[in-house]
Amino acid sequence: MYKKIFSCFLLFFLFFGMLAPGAAMAADTTELPTGSIALYIGSNKAYVNNTEKLIDPMNGSVVPIIQNSRTMLPVKFISENYGCTVQWDGANRKITVKSGENTVVLQIGNKTVYKNGIGFLSDVAPFIKDNRTYIPVKALSESIGKNVFYYSKLILISEPETTFNSAIDQTLIGEMLSKYTEQKLTIEQIAAFDKSTVMIYSLDSNKVPFSQGSGFYIGEGVIVTNYHVVKDARSIIIETENGSQYEIAGMVEWDQTLDLAMLKTKQKPDMITLKLGFNKTLVKGQQIVTISSPYGFKNTVSDGIISGFRKEGDVNLIQITAPITFGSSGSPLFNMYGQIIGINSSGMESGNLNFAISVNHLYNWYMSKVAGKTFYEISIKSA
């Protein structure tokens, strides 16, 4: 939950002399407000506008550094994510940061910070480590008008109109902490998600199966698969790991170009909801796991790595080494945190070339049609 200050309420409270520090309107959310950045002490990940990224894409070992109880960040990260310009004066070892009407000057080894020509003392001086220039987060952020909020090891940086409160914003804080404290799973642990991975049978007008694929459960009766798995079906049945079968009531959404479809069951199934890993940092060589039903061999577990990233038109593809063959289409691609990062879609037996569609293509559908809704509130789209 975050809070935005509105002038009408500000005037009201000023008139009655009741304005308390940080008074604001608030709205429940598990996402960072626009323009906000999340950091975590000891982590190489940052969340900028809710997108996960490395603090330094060129060096995954770069994390926020604590110096004299103050947090330090590489100036390059600040210049790329703060919406400001940074200039380096090598001769005088000075850093000039410009943001709107504010100009801030810092110097390596000097605790004095100059904001618009007026100096003040910071608790720590900028320094150079491993060819990276580190500057104090709080001193610089507040000098250019941003708010800095600390909660345990979590750091939230926001625009002037957005403030955070540890008592009120527990939902958001909890969500951000979970992103940083999540633990890697073993392949055996991820394999247990087969209970929420299904076989999909497309039936003809005589109720005879003519095609089989895979899918996975994202809650409230919604199954995700590839569009090509179900496009010609007159009716659809899914089968779970334990053999239970559920009829599909219809499609919540589909897109032939994306080759994605969301289905809804007639009855709410007894399955655990799988977690969608939107906007996750993915790199070549990253370990992945798939659970699919190739040639009807239900919920076969395979592992591999991400071997590349491709784009086909407007569709973002993840190239993987785990096998994708007939019957695997529509199955989930997991990272090692048990989050779904892709929907397995196609493969070439020669050359070990296999592809999954990025889960980010599901984001708008999920947020508008599934998130926060009950089984009975999720509607089926007419053809």
Token reading at 73: 């960040």
- 174 with 188, same domain? no
Number of domains in the chain: 2
Segment 85-95 mean pLDDT: 94
| Chain center to CA of 161 | 24
Active site residues per annotation: 228, 259, 329
Asked whether the beta carbons of 261 and 236 are under 8 A apart, the reply is no
- 217 with 361, same domain? yes
- 116 with 211, same domain? no
Listed residues 160, 180, 200: the one ending a domain:
180
| Per-residue pLDDT tens digits for 149-191 | 999 899 999 998 999 988 888 888 888 898 888 888 999 999 9
- 173 with 256, same domain? no
- 70 with 192, same domain? no
Helix ranges, the chain (H) = 7-16, 75-81, 137-143, 170-181, 187-191, 227-230, 363-365
Average pLDDT, the chain: 88
Asked if the structure places residue 32 within a domain, the reply is no
The pLDDT-based confidence of 349 (bands split at 50, 70, 90) is low
pLDDT at 245 (0 to 100): 97
- 223 with 355, same domain? yes
Residue 49 is which amino acid? N
From the list 213, 214, 222, 211, the residue with the least C-alpha distance to 197 is: 214
| Least confident among 41-55, 161-175, 249-263 | 161-175
Listed residues 144, 159, 180: the one ending a domain:
180
More confident: 76 or 12: 76
- 113 with 98, same domain? yes
- 260 with 375, same domain? yes
Token reading at 220: 């409230």
Query: In sequence order, which residues have a C-beta less than 8 Å from that of residue 57 and are 6 or more positions away?
Result: none
Asked if the structure places residue 342 within a domain, the reply is yes
Domain of 52 in residue numbering reads as: 37-180
From the list 190, 274, 273, 204, the residue with the least C-alpha distance to 237 is: 204
- What's phi and psi for 148, nearest 5 deg? -125, 125
Asked if the structure places residue 19 within a domain, the reply is no
Q: What are residue 39's DSSP bridge partners?
A: 155
Asked if the structure places residue 86 within a domain, the reply is yes
Segment 275-280 mean pLDDT: 90
Rounded distance between C-alpha atoms, residue 32 and residue 83, angstroms: 17
- 220 with 98, same domain? no
Asked if the structure places residue 28 within a domain, the reply is no
Q: Is the pLDDT of residue 20 over 80?
A: no
| Least confident among 33-47, 56-70, 337-351 | 337-351
- 224 with 348, same domain? yes
- 97 with 240, same domain? no
**316: part of which helix (H) or strand (E)?**
strand 315-320
Residue 240 carries which DSSP code?
-
Helix ranges, 47-152 (H) = 75-81, 137-143
pTM more than 0.75? no
**204: part of which helix (H) or strand (E)?**
none
- 141 with 154, same domain? yes
pLDDT at 262 (0 to 100): 98
pLDDT at 178 (0 to 100): 84
| Per-residue pLDDT tens digits for 112-144 | 999 999 999 999 999 999 999 999 999 999 999
Asked if the structure places residue 145 within a domain, the reply is yes
Segment 249-259 mean pLDDT: 96
Segment 49-53 mean pLDDT: 89
Residue 20 is which amino acid? A
Asked whether the beta carbons of 64 and 71 are under 8 A apart, the reply is yes
Rounded distance between C-alpha atoms, residue 136 and residue 126, angstroms: 7
Asked if the structure places residue 192 within a domain, the reply is yes
CATH assignment of the domain containing 290: 2.40.10.120
Asked if the structure places residue 12 within a domain, the reply is no
CATH assignment of the domain containing 53: 3.30.457.10
What SS3 state is found at 283? coil
Listed residues 154, 180, 206: the one ending a domain:
180
